Structure 1
Amino acid sequence: MIDFRTAFFIKSAPSTKELTDDFGAEIAFAGRSNAGKSTVLNALVGQKSLARTSRTPGRTQLINLFGLGDETRRFVDLPGYGYAKVPEAMRRRWGDALAAYFAERRSLAGVVVIMDIRHPLKETDQQMIEYALGRALPILCLLNKSDKLSQNEVSKAVFALKREPSLAAVQWLPFSGLRGVGVPQARAILSEWLATGIECPPELELELGLEPEQEEPPSPDATDVKPQACASD
């Protein structure tokens, strides 16, 4: 399993066109501005302030990239959505950019949608899920703030979501970034997703300071062994 505690900040990109090169494997994190996305990310990587909550929710439209050990495995923190005060033109522009990102990013290995378990599956959440389904990407919905509900209420909420026929491919996991609920299960799922990826070009490996994979020497093949001459009587 990947050691998520090795996470580090790579860069902030003002648009999807300014992300890192499209190699390796990355997981996109999406969620409404009040769903607790930063808290979830920090809980997953075991750090207190790797992902920071914006003081201007919905208006800071930056994509934050975090490496896991190195830059070949990444978390992509997408801007929070659903903030009512965001101008309509900005909302449309980012909607188009995200649609292109989901459609074209080859290294995208899966999508995590973070929701407040008390108010799940808003229209914008469904849009993120549809983007992922359009690429047949795995989807994990983290139902954050589950500590705000009783265990019975959590079970009812998860059961209701699992009954949606159109969301049969979605994995649902009760989560609490503050209490650590669901962290081990989420890490196990994401580690599986990150096990696959787009091969990094050799020239980019050198630029990033990565160790190129060494080819193992071929093992002797029995068919290559020359037959011994048999002694005649």
Structure 2
Amino acid sequence: MNILLAEDDERLGKLAAHLLQKEFHQVDWVKNGSDAISYSSLCDYDVIILDWMMPGADGLTVCKKLRSRGVKSGILFVTAKDAKDDIILGLDSGADDYIVKPFEFDEMLARIRAISRRKEKSLEESITIHDFTLSLNSHELTHKGVVIDLTKKEYQFLEILFRNCNQVVTREVLFERIWGFDTDISDNALDALVKLVRKKIDFAGIPSFIQNVRGIGYKVRNSDVS
């Protein structure tokens, strides 16, 4: 699942992003409302988690703006406001659900799953590029029906590229999404991971499926996506 987390509290945001990533979710973490609006215009998120009180634009403003632009992502408010009128205001602004701080992380996960089930547009189950199909539910990659074994990080790397087909994903974004924030991992770790993935998916006589954009990042070569 592709999730946008908008939370300006450094400690809570870092913890929530880390725990969501452990559940195999792809997470973009922003710390203000303006960035939440910008990110939402560039990516089709399954669920957007909005803190109510944020700099730039508060969660209520962000939610209304996204809905006015036709964004259909599930929206979950996370806030310390627990008054009945606040809950009604949040839901009337276009949010799908509301969770009050402090909360158990398991409860957040349950609410995210419930929002996903309720959305009219069912979650994308797989992405096919060339003869490769990546299952977003079972986290498997198949080539002409044959399963290619992947480690967790190999799967995460390919999911990011598949979801952003024909677009360059920067090294910084890949590091953050695969290894997490404030990581001390060596810069060579990404290149080593790409090398391992290529060994599994590249075939003799065929140009590498993964294109290196020197000094910037990686992308999946141009192709039709279904």
Give TM-score, length-normalised by structure 2.
0.43
Higher RCO structure (Cα 8 Å, ≥6 apart): 1
| Structure with more helix by fraction | 2
